[in-house]
Amino acid sequence: MKPNPPSTDAAWTWRLNTRVARASCPCSRGHWRDASATPRPSPPAPCGFTLVELLVVITIIGILIALLLPAVQAAREAARRVQCSNHLKQISLACLNHEEIHGFLPTGGWPVLFAGEPTRGFDRRQPGGWLYNILPYMEQVALHDLGADGDRQKMCVCVSTPLATFHCPSRRPAIVYPFPSASTFCPYYNLPTPQPTVLGRTDYTGAGGSIVEIGG
C-alpha cells in the first residue's frame, strides 16, 4: 500500500527521496532513471561480406586478370623470340667457323636416311647433313665424335640426342620424338640394328646449293 505524503513542509523532501529510490530501483525497468546515469553502449554490428560484395570483388579480379594475361603472354613470346634469334645466331656463327676452317660451307650430306659418320670428314664423303657437320663448332665435339672408335652403335646415340639450339622455343620443346615405323619410313642405311626408336629433330633448315649425285 502506497504511503500518503505528509502535509507539512517536508513534502518536498519526501517527493525527492521517492524519485531517487525509484530511479535506483532495479525493478523500475527504466521508467525512473537518474539523469546523471551513463547510457549503455550499443553492441557492435556484425562484420563480414555480403554475397553481392563478394561477387563484385570476384568480377573485378577476373577483369584485371583478363587485362594482364595478354601482356604476360606477349612478354613470354618476346622472350621466346629473343631465344630463337640467339639460336639462329649460334647456327650462323658455327657455319661461318666451318667455312673459315674448311674453305666451304657445311655440306648437305647424302640423301635422307644417312646418319653422320665421324670418320668421313666434312666434304662430299660425309653422309651426315649440315647440322651434323657444324656440331664441332657449337661445342658439341663429343656428340659429333660418337662412333669414331669403331662402335657404330654409338652413332644411334648421336641421332637420338636432341639439342635445344636446333629447336624454336615457340614451336616445340627440345625433346626426342618417335621414329616412324618401318612400314611407313625406311630405316637408316648406315646404322646398325637395333635402329633407334626416337630421334632428335630440328626446326631450322638451310638453303642448299648444287646437288652432287653419289658416284657422279
Contacting residues for 65 by C-beta, under 8 A, at least 6 apart: none
- pLDDT of 18: 57
Kindly report, residue by residue over 180-215, the tens digit of the pLDDT: 755 556 678 888 888 888 888 888 888 776 665 555
Residue 93: pLDDT over 90:
yes
Residue 17: pLDDT over 70:
no
* Contact in structure between 143 and 161 (CB atoms under 8 Å): yes
Residue 7: HSE in the Cβ half-sphere, 13 Å Cα cutoff: 0
**Mean of the per-residue pLDDT values for the chain?**
79
Nearest to 204 by CA among 167, 170, 174: 167
Query: Quick one: average pLDDT of 123-147?
Result: 92
Residue-range domain boundaries for the chain:
72-199
Instruction: With cut-offs at 50, 70 and 90, classify the pLDDT of residue 165.
Output: very high
Kindly report, residue by residue over 50-82, the tens digit of the pLDDT: 888 888 999 999 898 888 888 888 889 999 999
Q: Which helix (DSSP H) or strand (DSSP E) does residue 178 occupy?
A: strand 177-178
What is the rounded CA–CA span in Å between residue 92 and residue 103? 15
